[in-house]
């Protein structure tokens, strides 16, 4: 058995909008429910985690895991600008209390893709006012709940806009990449309709609609950097003991001869350019799902024989080890794997993915890399954004007609690895 450090965080992750249900004050709610929505289906009740969180965290503990990464929903805490909802704070206080009761360490994310719709009406993620607004919300949460939050991530996948811009460019130039499988076809027409409807529902001109999951201008990128640094300062002031970080989504970037420059450019854009803004962070949240191989013309298409996940990504758990080693070249503070997982309907493949990914994590730790925890994405099958409920990332299956939970063997598998490590230390 692989021996991990005794204080290793073994966990699973969720994001509020993907599991809670009825996140009605968020931008996503408007986008999912509007005419001509690009969403496969609306999130609706999701998997009712807002009501069933006790059961879900109870299951996580029962599997043998010791950490739960979840997000607090800005649109619930501050449904209208500067109006904070005490009942939403109370809800998350209960979630944190449940973790405490079950000896589960919470890792809290303060922004996981969705934003309050008022923020978008006011310029969203291209507005100079957004960093201060985000920091004010973070300060409020941390003043209220910080004593129960040991680890906090400001922004989830702060680099996602770069990946989205790349995906759109590749799509337009007729290329293919793992990331774009699952996107709707006829993209330009859809985008036109989408933007005109967006404009209607947000009540602002189409080009002013700037949600988080859109390509960013250089100015928008600066706003993200600033949102993180201002939030970090606000969190430290409100809750000095909480460890602060960010999460970035990173492919294992590889190249074949002729693709080296493009691969290096990709790493620069998606990772290296963020580093100056993270120097004061306490940890780095690393998220990885697969690899991308660059050739002279861009990302190579996957061959027909390649094993693919439900997302159309290459099944490649070894990517995690490679990305950890790459990050460590630039980052010597603690690393937490805040997401890693696979969309599949064959749970045996999830088990294989977990085992192979953990072998890589273990090898990194053995080489002295400070990896402090592994959060599997995801605790529950959930709302995979534009792709709706069709992608199964969960350790727990959910019957959305009854909201009944059915843990998969992979849940017990991951939990038993955690448990064996805990027991062997006694």
Residues forming the site for ligand GCO (CB under 6 A):
15, 18, 156-157, 249, 287, 339, 377, 384, 393
Nearer to ligand GCO, 140 or 322 (CB): 322
45-to-51, 55, 64, 374 alpha-carbon distances in Å:
10, 16, 28, 28
Looking at the Cβ atoms of 18 and 211, the one nearer to ligand GCO is 18
- Least separation in angstroms between residue 15's CB and ligand GCO is 5
Q: How far is the CB of 112 from ligand GCO (least distance, A)?
A: 6
Contact indicator for 161, 113 with CB cutoff of 8 Å: no
Per the structure block, which two tokens stand in for 148? 């129960």
Tokens of 48: 């009712």
- Nearest to residue 13, comparing CAs of 371, 338, 385? 338
CB of 247 to ligand GCO, least distance (A): 7
The CB-of-385 to ligand GCO minimum distance in angstroms stands at 6
Pick the closer one to ligand GCO by CB: 20 or 157: 157
Residue 341: partners with Cβ closer than 8 Å, 6 or more residues away: 289, 350, 353, 376, 377, 378, 393
- Least Å distance, CB 387 to ligand GCO, is 8
Task: Pick the closer one to ligand GCO by CB: 67 or 255.
Answer: 67
Residues 6+ apart with CB under 8 A from 249: 157, 159, 160, 163, 270, 287, 288, 289, 339
| Residues with Cβ within 8 Å of residue 128, at least 6 apart in sequence | 223
Residue 290 or residue 421: which is nearer to ligand GCO going by CB? Answer: 290
Query: Measured from the CB of residue 324, what is the shortest distance to ligand GCO in angstroms?
Result: 17
Residue 280 Cβ vs ligand GCO, minimum distance, rounded to whole Å: 23
Copy the structure tokens of residue 366: 């053995």
Phi, psi of 177, rounded to the nearest 5 degrees: -150, 160
The minimum distance between CB 377 and ligand GCO, in angstroms, equals: 5
**Choice between 164 and 264, CB closer to ligand GCO:** 164
Closest CA to 191 of 216, 212, 218, 209: 209
Query: Which residue from 22, 69, 12 is spatially nearest to 49, judged by alpha carbons?
Result: 22
C-beta of 338: minimal distance to ligand GCO in Å? 8
End-to-end Cα spacing for the chain: 16
Please say which residue, 152 or 238, places its beta carbon nearer to ligand GCO. Answer: 152
Give whichever of 14 and 239 is closer to ligand GCO, judged by the CB atom: 14
CB nearer ligand GCO, residue 287 or residue 421: 287
Nearer to ligand GCO, 4 or 385 (CB): 385
Q: Which residues pair with 252 in a beta bridge?
A: 291
Residue nearest to ligand GCO (CB): 15
Q: Decide if 381 contacts 347 (C-beta within 8 A).
A: no
Residue 380 pairs in a beta bridge with 396
Beta-strand relationship, 291-295 and 298-299: antiparallel
DSSP letter at 11?
E
Q: What residues have CB less than 8 Å from 63, skipping those under 6 apart?
A: 395, 407, 411, 412, 414, 415, 418
Which residue is listed with tokens 């600033």? 226
CB of 341 to ligand GCO, least distance (A): 7
Beta strands 252-255 and 298-299, pairing class = unpaired
């Amino acid at each position: 058995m692989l021996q991990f450090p005794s204080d290793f965080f073994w966990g699973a992750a969720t994001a509020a909008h993907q599991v809670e249900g009825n996140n009605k004050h968020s931008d996503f709610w408007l986008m999912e429910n509007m005419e001509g929505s690009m969403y496969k289906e609306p999130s609706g009740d999701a998997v009712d985690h807002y009501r069933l969180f006790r059961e879900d965290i109870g299951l996580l503990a029962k599997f043998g895991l010791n950490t739960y990464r979840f997000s607090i929903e800005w649109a619930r805490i501050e449904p209208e600008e500067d109006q904070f909802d005490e009942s939403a704070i109370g809800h998350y206080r209960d979630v944190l209390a449940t973790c405490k009761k079950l000896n589960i360490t919470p890792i809290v994310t303060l922004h996981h893709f969705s934003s309050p719709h008022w923020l978008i009406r006011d310029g969203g993620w291209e507005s100079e006012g957004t960093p201060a607004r985000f920091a004010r919300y973070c300060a409020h949460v941390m003043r209220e709940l910080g004593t129960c939050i040991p680890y906090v991530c400001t922004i989830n996948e702060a680099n996602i806009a770069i990946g989205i811009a790349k995906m759109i460019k590749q799509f337009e130039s007729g290329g293919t990449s793992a990331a774009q499988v699952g996107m709707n076809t006829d993209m330009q027409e859809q985008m036109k309709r989408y933007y005109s409807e967006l404009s209607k529902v947000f009540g602002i001109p189409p080009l002013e609609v700037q949600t988080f999951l859109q390509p960013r201008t250089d100015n928008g990128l600066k706003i993200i950097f600033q949102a993180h640094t201002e939030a970090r300062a606000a969190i430290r002031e409100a809750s000095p003991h909480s460890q602060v970080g960010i999460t970035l989504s990173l492919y294992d970037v590889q190249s074949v001869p002729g693709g080296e420059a493009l691969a290096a450019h990709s790493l620069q854009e998606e990772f290296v350019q963020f580093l100056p803004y993270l120097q004061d962070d306490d940890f780095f949240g690393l998220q990885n799902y697969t690899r991308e191989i660059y050739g002279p013309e861009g990302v190579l298409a996957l061959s027909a024989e390649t094993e693919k996940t439900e997302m159309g990504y290459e099944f490649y758990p070894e990517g995690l080890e490679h990305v950890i080693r790459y990050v460590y070249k630039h980052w010597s503070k603690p690393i937490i794997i805040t997401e890693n997982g696979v969309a599949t309907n064959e749970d045996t493949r999830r088990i294989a993915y977990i085992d192979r990914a953990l072998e890589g994590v273990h090898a990194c730790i053995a080489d002295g890399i400070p990896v402090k925890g592994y959060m599997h994405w995801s605790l529950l099958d959930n709302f995979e954004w534009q792709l709706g409920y069709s992608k199964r990332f969960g350790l727990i299956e959910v019957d959305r007609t009854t909201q009944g939970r059915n843990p998969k063997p992979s849940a017990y598998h991951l939990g038993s690895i955690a448990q064996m490590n805990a027991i062997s230390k006694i």
